[in-house]
Structure 1
Amino acid sequence: MKARLRRPAALLAGSLIPLSLLIGPPASAAPAAPLADAFTRAAATYEVPRDLLVTLAYAETHLDGHDGAPSASGGYGVMHLVSNPTTHTLEQAAKLTGQPLPALKADDAANITGGAAVLRAHADALGLDATARKDAGKWYTAVAEYGNASSPEVARLYADTVYDLLATGVRAATPDGETVTVTAQAVQPDRGDYAKARDLDRTFAAAAVDYPSAHWAPANSGNYAVSSRPSGDVIDRIVIHVTQGSYAGTISWFQNPAAQVSAHYVVRSSDGDVTQMVREKNRAFHAGSFNRRSVGIEHEGYVDNASWFTDAMYRSSAALTRNIADRYGIPKDRAHIVGHHQVPGTDHTDPGPNWNWTKYMQFVTGNSGGGGTNPHTAQSVCGSGYTVIDSAALGTAGTAYLLYNNANGNNCVATIKKSSLGTATATTAYLEVQGKTRITDSGSFTYYAGPVRAAAAGKCVKWGGKAGSSTYNSPFEHCG
């Protein structure tokens, strides 16, 4: 026997009242968070610390998959899965997850799953057991390997960037308007063999660089042409580029013989750190018809994402450009300081519409409202998360600053010059944690000495610096 259908109570005068009116609106539904959910699922599936996975992705792409378009080095998606002649993490992710290549390139969730799988594969190769996998600090070597760096020092730079971000936290807005966060947390990275690698954030090689504030990481010799500029070719242009990739990734790519490209300098987004990769006398392969006559400066980031173009980057790059222009007599105007897109015959669009030329040229010419002030601050030199806790004037020549990072327990010292700006003069910054060896950065610098960083939680420190003829040396203080 058929069951009798009960007449709906809402059937009145021959009309049905919409169900939504009967049950009312949903009770404060949580906003959709597809990217955050994808990170959570992938982290759980492959037993990767979720916050570490997000931070690695942020360091690579600022959580922007660029609609499946590749980076300069052939990396795809939020996790920058790479497919180029020497690196095949995209194909590795396909094998590990069973996901097709098109999905791994363009679908954020699939790409995040692929990145987590590759990172876990590195952890397995290192022998991390279930207990070790729960400690984000134990993943340091796996993170370094994930970056596919060209050398141990670049691998360390890559991993240190990820762990520095983990210490300061991440709050990123995705292209779709979702906000993904990582809470700042103190993690002690276990660097393993990478502890022996040269620290590109600290080591200067003054004899090897043309710009005294730059680090030195040479490009592969096949990616530039040995020359004798300016006696051979006049240098009369400075070309501004955007890397379409991360800082460490770009340095590594220029060291890869498969790249066939390079630039003289690379500038980091977060703090304006500068690495020189080709001597100015040589011709970097960066701007086609302008290679013979120009110096090329690459800036970390992507042309379609303005979040990479920080004030620290603009100021640092402008100081570099000003220094180059002064040494070669290049006019500081837009006819001589040009974007890659302005080079005759190029098909490139960088630095793109998000690059603020007005602000940049104001910093280059010193007309930004600050007169002849130093474009760098102690915070921009030491990096995000550091706060000034003490300072000492070095006569009229500069100021030494002591900073502290609550998230990771590190101190940092930077000496910021006030006079002879743009001219290399003797400048020093040092930091000594009680019971440890003093760390010193000393040389002929144009704008600052430092950063000198050291873990000092619960310890007393001595700190100081020198600029001009003035020196400051503190006692052991700021204990704990």
Structure 2
Amino acid sequence: MNPRRARASASLAVFLVLAIPLGVGPARAVAEPSLSEAFARAGAAYDVPGDVLAALAYSQTHLDGHDGQPSASGGYGIMHLVSNPVARSLERAAELTGEPAATLRKDDSANVLGGAALLRSYGDEVGLSAAARKDPAAWYPAVAAYAQASSAEVARLFADGVYEVLGRGVRAKAASGEAVVIAPRPIRPRRGDYEKVPDLQGDLGTAAADYPSAHWVPASSNSYSVANRPASSAIDRIVIHVAQGYYAGTISWFQNPNRTPNQLVSSHYVVRSSDGDVTQMVREKDIAFHVYTWNSRSVGIEHEGFVSDATWFTDAMYRSSAALTRDIADRYGIPKDRTHIVAHSEVPGNDHTDPGPYWDWNRYMQYVTGGTGPAPGKYWVDTFADAPGHATPGGARTGTLLRGTNYVYCRTWGPIVQSGSSFNHWWLKTDLDSGSPWQNQWVSAYYLSRWGNDQAKDNNGNDIPDCT
């Protein structure tokens, strides 16, 4: 099984960041700290809007601290506190909060506090008054500064992404199991001087890109080799990467020349998770430093996200990346198969694991070869959390369907599943990722991330057919 994995961001209908229990477990003497409470408390401590802080975290890490392991650019925790030769926001957060850097790396509440302290310090630097600090729209320049980007253009790209999260809202599962909700809150940010900065999501540099739908943002010249491919060497492979970082941060990292020699890496393209936006950073004729032994023969495509977190691999990302891969393959006569379109982990001489176990190769290659959806009789749906599977609708628990993009066969009306104001009577027939038997088990449509109460729709917004 397993022809899947990924998830699109959810839209919410609450105006506060809060926690929704996703299941009932054994009673505990001491409750685990709530991440939602951590955002609220840190925001109050440093006079930072809690939802801005949460959106800032989500845009960088999807609220996953990755067990204290750093991103590719050296960012730690759900607030992505950075420690690398170029940026030292982790160390600055330690100074501001008095917390040891080791604690900030691994403890979610401390990490959130560090992020709030940093954001407040940037707010002070741009001159936010006590009154302005109450207005989320006024925090835009401080949010842009938080990115520590290589250019003002990338800083604007980062800040715009944070405010897009605020506008559409998010429902995300934290490591503790709580559902952290950022309610939709459309805000017209006050960009200040950034209003004059070119928008990388606009038409800037498109004419310089090899792929018409891409923006052109060149990588640092010391992170690739100028060449004249395919005249100098044939291009016969396309390599799929996961960046271990977020979109604007990856672009900034590839642009920065002040990295150590082993960090001078690049890729030809970077693809965003939320909407499939594409940025080209190295011309295809030139040799990006992305796979060692196959650099001269390949084109590299980085994807925003982390290999251990399926939530980054959205339908929009798959479709956009597949269209890019198809275009490259057509222009260079590369066969559209898994021999020529490969994972970073499959390239000889590499020790990387990306794109990892949650990358849905079956689905991706179907899009590359021109398919637009799952096999007949199956429908893609996005689940915001691991969903318990049942032998019958509401019956005995049999296993788990992992969060991400999954296929289902049909729906039926059954017992209500409810938490707070969220509920759903629809049940979906699907295949579980764990448990026995795994085939044709039932999952409540409560766990669908895109749609509202008592709906069961596929990712295109169409009603899933009733089971016969």
TM-score, normalised on structure 1?
0.70
- Which residue in the other structure is 1:290 paired with? 294
Q: Percent identity?
A: 64
- Which residue in the other structure is 2:90 paired with? 90
The residue identity in structure 2 corresponding to 1:97 is T
Q: Is the 8 A contact 1:359 1:368 kept in 2?
A: no
Q: Which has the larger radius of gyration?
A: 1
Counting only pairs closer than 5 Å after superposition, residues 294-313 of structure 1 correspond to structure 2 as 294-313=298-317
Matches of 2:30 and 2:275, distance apart in 1: 35
Of 264, 268, 274, 1:270 maps to 274
Shift of residue 366, structure 1, vs aligned partner: 1.3
Q: CA 1:369–1:224 in structure 2 vs 1: closer, same or farther (change >3 Å)?
A: same
CA deviation profile, 1:121-166 (whole Å, cap 9, x unmatched): 0001111111000000100000000001111111100000000110
- Which residue in the other structure is 2:13 paired with? none
Q: Is the 8 A contact 1:59 1:161 kept in 2?
A: yes
3-state SS of paired residue (1:275): strand
Q: CA 1:370–1:308 in structure 2 vs 1: closer, same or farther (change >3 Å)?
A: closer
- Report runs of 4+ in structure 1 exceeding 3 Å deviation: 29-33, 367-371
Matches of 1:369 and 1:69, distance apart in 2: 35
The residue identity in structure 2 corresponding to 1:308 is W
Matches of 2:189 and 2:55, distance apart in 1: 14
Matches of 1:197 and 1:354, distance apart in 2: 37
Q: CA 1:152–1:38 in structure 2 vs 1: closer, same or farther (change >3 Å)?
A: same
- Which residue in the other structure is 1:116 paired with? 116
Counting only pairs closer than 5 Å after superposition, residues 459-474 of structure 1 correspond to structure 2 as none
- Which residue in the other structure is 2:211 paired with? 211
Q: Which moved more, 1:174-183 or 1:151-160?
A: 174-183
Matches of 2:31 and 2:176, distance apart in 1: 13
Of 342, 364, 373, 2:368 maps to 364
- Which residue in the other structure is 1:181 paired with? 181
3-state SS of paired residue (1:326): helix
Shift of residue 37, structure 1, vs aligned partner: 1.2
Q: Structure 1, unaligned stretches of length 5 or more? A: 1-25, 372-480
Q: Is the 8 A contact 1:309 1:355 kept in 2?
A: yes
Matches of 1:369 and 1:167, distance apart in 2: 28
CA deviation profile, 1:428-462 (whole Å, cap 9, x unmatched): xxxxxxxxxxxxxxxxxxxxxxxxxxxxxxxxxxx
Q: Is the 8 A contact 1:204 1:214 kept in 2?
A: no
- Which residue in the other structure is 1:431 paired with? none
Matched pairs, number: 346
Matches of 1:39 and 1:45, distance apart in 2: 10
- Which residue in the other structure is 1:397 paired with? none
Of 254, 258, 264, 1:260 maps to 264
Counting only pairs closer than 5 Å after superposition, residues 167-178 of structure 1 correspond to structure 2 as 167-178=167-178
Matches of 2:119 and 2:90, distance apart in 1: 12
Q: Is the 8 A contact 2:277 2:320 kept in 1?
A: yes
CA deviation profile, 1:389-414 (whole Å, cap 9, x unmatched): xxxxxxxxxxxxxxxxxxxxxxxxxx
Of 317, 321, 326, 1:317 maps to 321
Counting only pairs closer than 5 Å after superposition, residues 306-345 of structure 1 correspond to structure 2 as 306-345=310-349
Matches of 1:69 and 1:46, distance apart in 2: 26
The alignment's C-alpha RMSD in Å is 1.9
Shift of residue 206, structure 1, vs aligned partner: 3.8
3-state SS of paired residue (1:298): strand
Q: CA 1:369–1:310 in structure 2 vs 1: closer, same or farther (change >3 Å)?
A: closer
Matches of 1:365 and 1:359, distance apart in 2: 10
- Which residue in the other structure is 1:238 paired with? 238
CA deviation profile, 1:322-378 (whole Å, cap 9, x unmatched): 00000000010001000000011111000000000000000001134599xxxxxxx
Q: Structure 2, unaligned stretches of length 5 or more? A: 1-25, 376-468
Matches of 1:58 and 1:36, distance apart in 2: 12
Matches of 1:342 and 1:145, distance apart in 2: 37
Shift of residue 187, structure 1, vs aligned partner: 1.5
The residue identity in structure 2 corresponding to 1:47 is D
- Which residue in the other structure is 2:131 paired with? 131
Q: Is the 8 A contact 2:140 2:189 kept in 1?
A: yes
3-state SS of paired residue (2:131): helix
Q: Is the 8 A contact 1:78 1:111 kept in 2?
A: yes
Shift of residue 176, structure 1, vs aligned partner: 2.4
Matches of 1:164 and 1:68, distance apart in 2: 27
Q: Is the 8 A contact 1:239 1:338 kept in 2?
A: yes
Matches of 2:201 and 2:175, distance apart in 1: 30
3-state SS of paired residue (1:291): helix
Of 268, 277, 284, 1:280 maps to 284
- Which residue in the other structure is 2:359 paired with? 355
- Which residue in the other structure is 1:226 paired with? 226
TM-score, normalised on structure 2?
0.72
Q: Is the 8 A contact 2:217 2:281 kept in 1?
A: yes
The residue identity in structure 2 corresponding to 1:310 is T
- Which residue in the other structure is 1:65 paired with? 65
Q: Is the 8 A contact 2:198 2:204 kept in 1?
A: no
Shift of residue 205, structure 1, vs aligned partner: 2.8
Shift of residue 204, structure 1, vs aligned partner: 4.2
The residue identity in structure 2 corresponding to 1:182 is I
The residue identity in structure 1 corresponding to 2:284 is E
The residue identity in structure 2 corresponding to 1:235 is I
Q: Which has the higher contact order (CA 8 A, sep 6+)?
A: 2
Matches of 1:106 and 1:281, distance apart in 2: 42
Does residue 48 of structure 2 align to residue 48 of structure 1? yes
Q: Is the 8 A contact 1:33 1:178 kept in 2?
A: no
3-state SS of paired residue (1:253): helix
